[in-house]
Amino acid sequence: MSQASPRHPSLPRPIQGAIKLERSNQLLEEARKLVPGVTQTMMKKPDHFAPGAFPVFLTRGDGALVEDADGQQYIDYIGALGANLLGHNHPAVAETIRKHLAEGIIHSLPTPVEVSSVRALVDIIPGAEMARFFKTGADATSAAVRLARHITGRESIVTVGYNGWHDHFMYDTPGIPAAVAKLTTRLPLFTPPDEPALLAHINAHGAQLACVLLAIPYNRTITREFLQQVKDTCAANGVLFILDEVVTGFRLALGGAQQFFDIQADFVTLSKGIAAGMPLSAIAGPAKHLSRLSELQVSTTFGGEMLSLAVCEAVLHEYKSTNYIEHIASLGRLLRAGVNSHARATGSSLEVIGYDAVPFFRFSKDIPEHIQKMIPFQAGMARRGVILRRDLNFISAVHTTEQVEHTIAAAGEVLRELAAGASTASAA
């Protein structure tokens, strides 16, 4: 998986001078008039990158390379916010769509692929015996919350991390009734002291809690022992322990965080890599829990959309038949070591931290300071043919050693450039 073919070059075409944004800016001006928030996904908005020095619209992708509306190429570590685990335009996705397109997209009754894709999924996910499909991660996590409330007969929940945009997750944002906030407690896991606070909350309020829905933090690594404590504390209080594996599924390990940490949740939610970019999500777990979804009004027309399910089955086979987990982890270790070495050499505060497969870039624990320093770094990297998010980034199964080495070299150039600029400003 680490070799680019002659038809698909590994490195982007060099950008001469400043990034060209003429077409991107034209599209941006039009989008501001037509699309609330400019784009469909908040984390893709231009102000999450380096406005004025970073591509705004992408037109195509192949492997780990993408091309923007002005024809410039980049090594992509944004990866559709983690969905493109197999990179762009992978044969397991593209050829499967072509193969099955003539059969239709969605039918009026269930189709065989609804059965075969679930069979493929439960074969991979630890503890899973049944699964139901949806379209977005927020669909799956919302179904998980409703199922937990039904099983336990309780209404309150604890959420950890980002679990989606629906009311019971984003209760403290505009447009949501105040009463909803009373049913959800959002707790962080950003620092070690957050761990005992979570356990204490479960013990103090367990009699009212239906579930703890936990997404693994990425700015630090946590231990299996802590997750086992969470599970045991939940069990002692009759609370369901749900792992939100929308991001970690198929990325930290083939079987997700459950396999990576050797931990068993009551059930899990999945999306992103489940169909390598096609719109699909799922809730999966043991039959004793998942079978009770049939007692609820949890239904979606497009959950049975056939192309996404066929792609899901195909990419799960691809995952099982390759060594992609070790590949992305090894590239993550290489990236972290190389960038951190340049940061130390230039006196930069930049650190690449977190899990191997999902490198987390951090200049400062203070978020405004981090953003202030990250924006010129993102701009400098884009000028050298690399696009990054401000924090969490994603390595795909088709990134190459050559691409990561290019990224490391680019980071060294940018950090030296920023250090020289800071010295000049200080002297002035």
| SS3 annotation, 41-95 | CHHHCHHHCCCCCCCCCEEEEEECEEEECCCCEEEECCHHHHCCCCCECCHHHHH
72 alpha-carbon distance from chain centroid = 25
More confident residue, 280 or 17: 280
- Dihedral (C-alpha) 64, 67, 73, 77: value to the nearest 10 degrees? -40
pLDDT in the model for residue 124: 96
Q: How far apart are CA 270 and CA 249, in angstroms?
A: 6
Confidence of residue 285 (pLDDT cuts 50, 70, 90): very high
pLDDT in the model for residue 423: 59
Instruction: Inform me whether the pLDDT recorded for 200 exceeds 60.
Output: yes
pLDDT in the model for residue 61: 96
pLDDT in the model for residue 3: 42
Angle between helices 401-427 and 324-346 (to 10 degrees): 20
pLDDT in the model for residue 43: 87
Instruction: Inform me whether the pLDDT recorded for 346 exceeds 90.
Output: yes
Q: How far apart are CA 171 and CA 168, in angstroms?
A: 5
Which pair of tokens denotes residue 32?
A: 């501001």
Instruction: Inform me whether the pLDDT recorded for 336 exceeds 60.
Output: yes
Residue 39: CA count within 13 A, CB half-sphere: 14
Average pLDDT across the chain, whole number: 94
Instruction: Inform me whether the pLDDT recorded for 2 exceeds 60.
Output: no
Contact between residue 62 and residue 54 where contact means Cβ atoms under 8 Å apart:
no
Instruction: Inform me whether the pLDDT recorded for 428 exceeds 70.
Output: no
Instruction: Inform me whether the pLDDT recorded for 123 exceeds 60.
Output: yes
pLDDT in the model for residue 8: 58
pLDDT in the model for residue 42: 86
9-60 confidence digits (pLDDT tens): 689 999 998 999 999 999 999 999 999 999 998 888 889 999 999 999 999 9
pLDDT in the model for residue 426: 55
- Which position has the token pair 């953003």? 371
94-122 confidence digits (pLDDT tens): 999 999 999 999 999 999 999 999 999 99
Contact between residue 355 and residue 364 where contact means Cβ atoms under 8 Å apart:
no
Least Cα distance to 230 among 161, 285, 177, 296 occurs for 161
Q: Hey, what domains does the chain have and what are their CATH numbers?
A: 22-76+324-422 (3.90.1150.10), 91-320 (3.40.640.10)
- Dihedral (C-alpha) 359, 163, 35, 66: value to the nearest 10 degrees? 30
Pairing relationship of beta strands 209-214 and 240-245 according to DSSP bridges: parallel
Highest average pLDDT, of 41-45, 168-172, 408-412, comes from 408-412
Contact between residue 199 and residue 230 where contact means Cβ atoms under 8 Å apart:
yes
pLDDT in the model for residue 425: 56
What integer is the mean pLDDT of 234-248? Answer: 98
Angle between helices 224-236 and 194-205 (to 10 degrees): 10
pLDDT in the model for residue 236: 98
Q: Say what percent of the chain tops pLDDT 70.
A: 96
What integer is the mean pLDDT of 288-301? Answer: 95
Q: How far apart are CA 239 and CA 211, in angstroms?
A: 5
Instruction: Inform me whether the pLDDT recorded for 427 exceeds 60.
Output: no
Q: Which three-class secondary structure state does DSSP give residue 310? A: helix
Residue 127 contacts by C-beta under 8 Å, 6 or more apart in sequence?
A: 258, 264, 265, 267, 285, 286
Q: How far apart are CA 90 and CA 74, in angstroms?
A: 17
What integer is the mean pLDDT of 248-253? Answer: 96
What integer is the mean pLDDT of 198-204? Answer: 98
Confidence of residue 424 (pLDDT cuts 50, 70, 90): low
